[in-house]
């Protein structure tokens, strides 16, 4: 697959721009109209929100859709959808993104919309109170009233990590959300939403010179503001196994999560990618080791999953990041047996590495999945932007298949050996039936 040539521009106000022209893949379907993807990634996520304001980064993402300097509430929705486009935003550990995919003849409209809210979102008491209620309802729907809600991405970090930045609930505590003020929002915007703290990505059916002119036209007069130096969120590795339990009244079966620290995804990328391959060897597909043993042969769990990246995808955060192993077990199987089986499989891989067949299968499958994802313009645009922001190199997304293909059995063995039982977190989920029989969580 031939990747498009990337072009970069940095505006006088500090905004970094990545342009990825690709008319060959810039359509929504064969024979469909040419389309363009536009995203803005701001270098602020869950880990940057102030103590006592859990969930604030996500709340602010919602507020960015409530109108701006020149546009009334819901105007962003109307203009994008009226052009035949789609849009959304999402909050991650280290960044917040906003994006739209729409016909390429509507590119200027998308740039105007993003520039206008980068210049001045409409933050009012009415909008704030309304979006606090929206976020609280989202938490009820996705976490509080859902089986295994927040498992493991909300519940595991406070077991594995010790600092507020890494351990707190990024979705937010209701009390913290309700106490947020318009002044808090204004300070957050001034601190983190400066153009110099953002990456604008434009991909798909574009003319580079024309797109560059439009970027200057709409973003060039967004005032430059100071950009705070991003603090390091690093913390020591655990010196022992850390354990906790959580009662889930909606869970039908008990579950367990193991959490381990990963190598720095920026400074130690190849070691990190070895963990991506290790996760696939363990649980990707029916032929994987944990699926074969724990689901099919010994029937000790109904589901098992290994993954690099706390939020469910690799390379989605800076250091520290988390390797997770989760399993939903049957009630008659003791959690110690589940953990023991996982440890045995890790020890086997640490001793001998994966077989040549396993390595070839998982790397081919992973690379194929990445190519498939990047055939979707929305995914490609977002991955270019996040790679530029987090790694400083949007080109990384096209290099990943070859870099993963160079991971050796010895690399995977070393990754497995580093997942030590004496430096991990173990979180057990107790369903309602267990909670009522043994008095609840310890």
pLDDT, position 438: 41
- 7-219 and 242-438 have identical folds: yes
Which pLDDT belongs to residue 24?
59
Rounded Cα distance between 189 and 60, Å, is: 8
Give me 271's structure tokens: 């070691």
d(Cα 163, Cα 404) in Å, to the nearest integer? 32
Percent of all residues in the chain with a pLDDT value above 90, rounded to a whole number: 90
pLDDT per residue over 214-236, tens digit each?
A: 999 999 999 999 998 889 999 99
Of 46, 50, 45, give the one whose Cα is nearest residue 187.
50
Query: What pTM, to 2 d.p., does this model score?
Result: 0.94
Helix (H) / strand (E) containing 103: strand 96-103
In 10 A of CB 370, how many CB atoms?
Answer: 17
Which tokens in the block code for residue 126?
Answer: 């009415």
pLDDT of residue 340: 97
Query: What DSSP line would sit under 283-344, residue for residue?
Result: HSSTTSHHIIIIIIIS--EEEEEEEESTTSSTTSS-SS-EEEEEEEE-TTS-HHHHHHHHHH
Q: Are 215 and 8 in contact (CB under 8 A)?
A: no
Number of other CB atoms surrounding residue 235 within 10 Å: 16
Q: What is the reported pLDDT for 148?
A: 96
Determine the length of the chain.
442
371-405: burial string, b at 16+ Cβ within 10 Å, e else:
eeebeebbbbbbbbbbbbbbbeebebbbebbeebe
Residue 73 and residue 127: Cα distance in Å, rounded?
9
Long-range contacts of 300-304 (CB under 8 A, 24+ apart): 300/329, 300/330, 300/333, 300/337, 300/338, 300/341, 301/327, 301/328, 301/329, 301/330, 301/333, 301/338, 302/253, 302/328, 302/329, 302/330, 303/327, 303/328, 304/328
Mean pLDDT by 10 residues, the chain (442 residues): 80 98 58 85 96 95 93 91 95 97 96 96 96 97 95 97 97 96 96 97 97 98 93 95 97 97 97 98 96 96 96 92 97 96 98 96 92 93 97 96 96 98 97 52 32
Calculate the alpha carbon distances from 387 to 87, 307, 315, 316 in Å. 20, 19, 8, 9
Characterise 261 by phi-psi region: left (phi > 0), alpha (psi -120 to 50), beta (else). beta
Task: Give dist(CA 292, CA 361) in Å, integer.
Answer: 15
Task: Give the CATH number of domain 242-438; options: 3.30.830.10, 3.30.450.20, 3.40.1160.10, 3.30.470.20.
Answer: 3.30.830.10
Domain definitions of the chain by residue range = 7-219, 242-438
Indicate left, alpha or beta for 296 from its phi (over 0: left) and psi (-120 to 50: alpha): alpha
Residue 11, phi then psi, degrees to nearest 5: -80, 160
CATH 3.60.15.10 fits 7-219, yes or no: no
Which residues on neighbouring strands pair with residue 207, listed in sequence order?
Answer: none
């Amino acid at each position: 697959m031939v990747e498009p040539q990337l072009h970069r521009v940095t505006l006088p106000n500090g905004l970094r721009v990545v342009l990825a022209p690709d008319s060959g893949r810039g359509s929504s379907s064969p024979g469909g109209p040419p389309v363009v993807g536009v995203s803005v990634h701001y270098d602020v996520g869950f880990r940057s929100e102030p103590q006592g304001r859990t969930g604030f980064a996500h709340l602010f993402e919602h507020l960015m859709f409530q109108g701006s300097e020149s546009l009334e509430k819901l105007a962003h929705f109307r203009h994008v959808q009226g052009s035949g486009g789609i849009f959304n935003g999402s909050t991650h550990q280290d960044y917040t993104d906003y994006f739209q995919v729409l016909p390429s003849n509507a590119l200027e409209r998308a740039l105007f919309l993003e520039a206008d809210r980068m210049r001045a979102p409409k933050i009012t008491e009415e909008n704030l109170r309304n979006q606090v209620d929206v976020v609280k309802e989202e938490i009820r729907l996705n976490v509080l009233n859902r089986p295994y809600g927040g498992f493991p991405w909300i519940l595991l970090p406070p077991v594995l990590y010790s600092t507020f930045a890494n351990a707190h609930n990024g979705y937010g505590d209701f009390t913290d959300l309700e106490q947020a003020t318009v002044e808090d929002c204004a300070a957050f915007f001034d601190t983190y939403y400066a153009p110099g703290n953002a990456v604008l990505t434009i991909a798909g059916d574009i003319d580079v010179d024309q797109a560059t002119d439009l970027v200057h036209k709409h973003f060039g007069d967004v005032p430059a503001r100071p950009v705070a130096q991003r603090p390091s969120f690093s913390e020591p590795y655990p010196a022992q196994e850390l354990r906790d339990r959580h009662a889930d009244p909606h869970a039908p079966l008990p579950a367990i999560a193991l959490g381990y620290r990963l190598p720095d995804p920026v400074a130690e990328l190849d070691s990190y990618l070895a963990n991506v391959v290790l996760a696939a060897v363990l649980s990707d597909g029916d032929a994987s080791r944990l699926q074969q043993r724990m689901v099919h042969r010994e029937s000790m769990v109904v589901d098992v999953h290994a993954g690099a990246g706390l939020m469910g995808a690799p390379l989605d955060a800076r250091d520290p990041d988390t390797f997770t192993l989760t399993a939903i077990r049957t009630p008659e199987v003791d959690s110690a047996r589940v953990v023991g089986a996982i440890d045995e499989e890790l020890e086997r891989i640490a001793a001998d590495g994966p077989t040549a067949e396993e390595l070839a299968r998982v790397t081919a499958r992973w690379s194929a999945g990445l190519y498939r994802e990047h055939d979707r313009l929305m995914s490609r645009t977002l991955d270019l932007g996040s790679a530029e922001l987090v790694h400083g190199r949007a080109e990384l997304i096209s290099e990943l298949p070859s870099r993963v293909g160079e991971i050796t059995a010895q690399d995977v063995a070393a990754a497995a050996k580093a997942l030590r039982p004496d430096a991990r977190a173990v979180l057990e989920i107790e369903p309602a039936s267990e909670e009522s029989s043994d008095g609840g969580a310890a």
